[in-house]
Amino acid sequence: MRREVRISGFGGQGIILAGYILGKAAAVYDNKEATLVQSYGPEARGGAASAEVVIDEEPVDYPHIEAADILVLMSAEAYRTYGKSLRPGGTLIVEEDLVPLEEGQKAIKVPATRLAEELGRRIVANIVMLGALVAATGIVSKEAIVESVRTSVPPRTVDLNLRALERGYEYVKEKVRVL
């Protein structure tokens, strides 16, 4: 079954890496088909960034997202740009401290940056969000995302990134009522 995922934020948050890791988890470790289409603004840091990941049991014939089944937003700009691209009944996951939602809008709110800072490096907020995404949706197995993180980040950062992944996963499992 085709699942369309958009992860979006600003350059410097590791948005493209998060999409890559998710697609790799699906394709390499869960034996599914996956594609990644990335886009980002001309700025090195601070510009818009988006990763579109399509995961399916069958070969993916069209790699672009029509409407996201899962939408992860890590900045206010991402919300303004992609907030309406969620399929009805889809899952919205937002960076609680950076994404102001409309009143009454349902979302899984994760303070990813704060959780990353508690681990000592705010740069792993993207991996915290990946843990939250997997816990909330089960789009890939936990084992697959762990191996994908382990084999995708620089060796000296593996432990930190695995702790970030676990922190996001546990945050959703323990503290958030999944909608």
Instruction: Tell me the pLDDT tens digit for each residue of 14-25.
Output: 999 999 999 999
Alpha-carbon distance of 15 to 74, in angstroms, equals 9
Alpha-carbon distance of 162 to 9, in angstroms, equals 21
Q: Which helix (H) or strand (E) holds 144?
A: helix 142-150
pTM of the full structure: 0.93
Alpha-carbon distance of 177 to 120, in angstroms, equals 27
Residue type, 140: V
Q: What is the CATH number of domain 3-175?
A: 3.40.920.10
Q: Where are the domains of the chain?
A: 3-175
Residue 173: left if φ>0, alpha if ψ -120 to 50, beta else—which one? Answer: alpha
- Do residues 51 and 18 lie in contact, with contact meaning Cβ atoms separated by under 8 Å? yes
Alpha-carbon distance of 129 to 163, in angstroms, equals 12
Instruction: Tell me the pLDDT tens digit for each residue of 128-178.
Output: 999 999 999 999 999 999 999 999 999 999 999 999 999 999 999 998 654
Q: Which of 66, 68, 63, 5 is nearest to 35 (CA)?
A: 63
